[in-house]
A and B are shown apart, each in its own frame.
Chain A
Amino acid sequence: MFYREAGDFKTSYRADSQTFPIRLDRMGYVAALVVAYGIVPFVIDDYWANAVFVPFLIYAIAAIGLNILVGYAGQVSLGTGGFMAVGAYAVYKLMTAFPDVPILIHVLLAGGITAAVGVLFGLPSLRIKGFYLAVATLAAQFFLVWLFNKVPWFYNYSASGQITAPERTMFGIFITGAQTTAAAKYLFCLIILTLVALMARNLTRGTVGRKWMAIRDMDIAAEIIGVNPLSAKVTAFAVSSFFIGIAGALLFSVYLGAAEVGEAFGINKSFLILFMVIIGGLGSIFGSFAGAAFLVLLPVFLKNVLVGGFGWPTDVAAHLELMIVGALIVVFLIVEPHGLAQLWRIAKEKLRLWPFPH
């Protein structure tokens, strides 16, 4: 069985515009879902959950969110960390104020609140573009972190200034707090990621996605064919911030358990997510997954090889990781600006013709 389109006929427009038009792709996708839902939850332990799977799932959500804004709508943002903080503090306030409501509702509400904040900080995008917009979102980043540090109401007047996730359940299963099992954390994040990815895919292949991409590629032409730039940019900020807020809420409540805003949601987090999107591939949902996987796995891999394998000191390994990530960003920007997703696309195109490339 070869990787081919030939013989795989489409008889309706809906079949033609589906997410995975090639049969082998569809089978791979189903296999990945089966492994993710049917096998991993039964074999996962705390190390794998905390070091690899849970951060990957959460960062993938954030990367999809940022990719919608930067990759699809073309609006550069450096405020991701700040928006994740909004999600985290929103879910904290909701969890402590309404302890009996299922955690999923809180997470979704936190996403909604972040969407509103994102729209507010997205409004300048109507007047400014490119670098200048990036600086404006940078202001959002610093302002939000400052706000959550300065106003004690946000962290419920706790002495340390930190927020700590209380124990909350969903259908009687612990999702947050010390008693949560690795499988519960993993599955909770996986379900949300699956939904987020499906929604993002549907939005980007439909009318809204076309409006975003039209604004990205040529905003004047977009306006002349009837795209209202205000509504297109505002929806991009809203949807993007919704996903980023969910990621922030999960990062705090499920993964970290306790967070201090400057440390967990500082400017470094904004850059980390942006690097995921750039390395993974701008304007690609698959790229968001690839970028998140790459930047989550790279430190784990380097640590295991350098510290575990060669016996190097941890600080040397940590510095080496920074250097490698930095070098990779430069390489990707020069060699393949469309990231891992483009490499994957090229590989698939080659594979489609293999073994007769001419």
Chain B
Amino acid sequence: MKDTGAGITTAEGGSVGPVLMELRNITLRFGGVVAIKDISFDIREGEIRAIIGPNGAGKSSMLNVISGFYVPTEGEVWFRGEKRGPMKPYQVARLGIARTFQNIALFDGMSVLDNIMTGRLTLMHSGLLSQAMWWGKAAAEEDEHREKVEKIIDFLEIQNIRKTPVGRLPYGLKKRVELARALAAEPKILLLDEPMAGMNVEEKEDMCRFILDVNDEFGTTTVLIEHDMGVVMDLSDRVVVMDYGRKIGDGPPDEVRNNQDVIDAYLGVAHA
């Protein structure tokens, strides 16, 4: 297809590598409803890719296609140079795709630490018997992964709540814990579904900082859906704009901002 080899330099000056995931002519239908109509775009290694659009444009459906929760009716998903067949969600997780949810999906009965440790489940392999005895491998593995998780806890500045049950936390912190759980999986692609929804300005600023830091420090490829235009334009390297299930724009933030179709979609267009 297109240039998959050489890296390109983005508006933000971040380094962006070769194509990691490519979506080719994706169509998603639920009965008669067409949620996504013939959309193609790619995600490059190390970039922050935003998907924006008015309500009901099909953004979350797109994210669900990427995360493997929905299997597209037509079209192909290529990941790391291979075509991805129909998979169960837990198999996609093992490929290295982690996500957060629009409505937080944490495990309320477990502590923050345990919640983040669940993010590493795909990386832990000790057997049932070894765990029951807590000998050798299981205990050593637990320590090793605990150390990695503690780094993420430090990084996201949630040390003081690590033993608190998640159900007791306020909304903003829950969002942060969910990000921590997704990061714990050391994902190849991190999917964020409206990470700033319902936050106040300070919480949004914190979250922006974390997303940028994660991208800088770990080089994590990030795909995010967000309604706050200021945030999207500041954070992302490239933006896909959707409206009524179609792609109406794709490119760096500045280019998208001046695209006539995008302006029409957001501001409405006068009908003669």
Binding site for B on A (CB under 8 A): 12-14, 17, 199, 202-203, 206-208, 210-211, 213-214, 216-218, 220-229, 235, 239, 283
Report Cα–Cα, A225/B150, bound state, in Å.
19
Given A203-B132, A207-B126, residue A213 in contact with residue B107 (CB < 8 A):
yes
Number of residue pairs spanning A and B whose beta carbons lie under 8 angstroms apart: 105
Interchain CB contact under 8 A, A216 and B109: yes
Interchain CB contact under 8 A, A202 and B101: no
Pairs across A and B, CB under 8 Å, 5 listed? A207-B121, A207-B138, A210-B118, A226-B93, A226-B122
Chain A CB within 8 A of B105 CB: yes
Interface centre among A206, A222, A225 (most CB of B within 10 A): A225
Q: Which residue in A213, A224, A229 is a CB contact (below 8 Å) of B93? A: A224
Contacts of B146 in A (CB 8 A): 13, 17
Q: Which residue in B89, B90, B109, B134 is a CB contact (below 8 Å) of A283? A: B109
Contacts of A220 in B (CB 8 A): 105
Binding site for A on B (CB under 8 A): 67, 69, 88-90, 92-94, 98-99, 101, 105-110, 114, 117-119, 121-122, 124, 126, 128, 131-134, 138-139, 141-143, 146-147, 150, 181-182, 185
Q: Which residue in B93, B124, B132, B142 is a CB contact (below 8 Å) of A225? A: B93
- Smallest beta-carbon distance B151→chain A, Å: 12
Interchain CB contact under 8 A, B131 and A207: yes
Q: Which 5 residue pairs across A and B have the least CB separation, nearest first?
A: A226-B93, A221-B105, A217-B107, A226-B122, A202-B134
- Smallest beta-carbon distance B150→chain A, Å: 8
Contacts of B147 in A (CB 8 A): 13
Q: Which residue in A199, A203, A210, A217 is a CB contact (below 8 Å) of B108? A: A217
Interface centre among A12, A13, A235 (most CB of B within 10 A): A13
- Smallest beta-carbon distance B72→chain A, Å: 17
Contacts of A14 in B (CB 8 A): 139, 142-143
Q: Which residue in A202, A213, A216, A222 is a CB contact (below 8 Å) of B114? A: A213
- Smallest beta-carbon distance B140→chain A, Å: 9
Interchain CB contact under 8 A, A225 and B119: yes
Report Cα–Cα, A210/B146, bound state, in Å.
13
Extra inter-chain contacts (13) besides given A203-B131, A208-B128, CB under 8 Å = A13-B147, A14-B142, A17-B146, A199-B132, A206-B131, A206-B138, A210-B114, A211-B118, A211-B121, A217-B108, A223-B89, A225-B185, A227-B121
Q: Which residue in B107, B126, B138, B139 is a CB contact (below 8 Å) of A221? A: B107
Q: Which residue in A199, A208, A213, A225 is a CB contact (below 8 Å) of B181? A: A225
Output the nearest chain A residue to B167 by Cβ-Cβ distance: A217
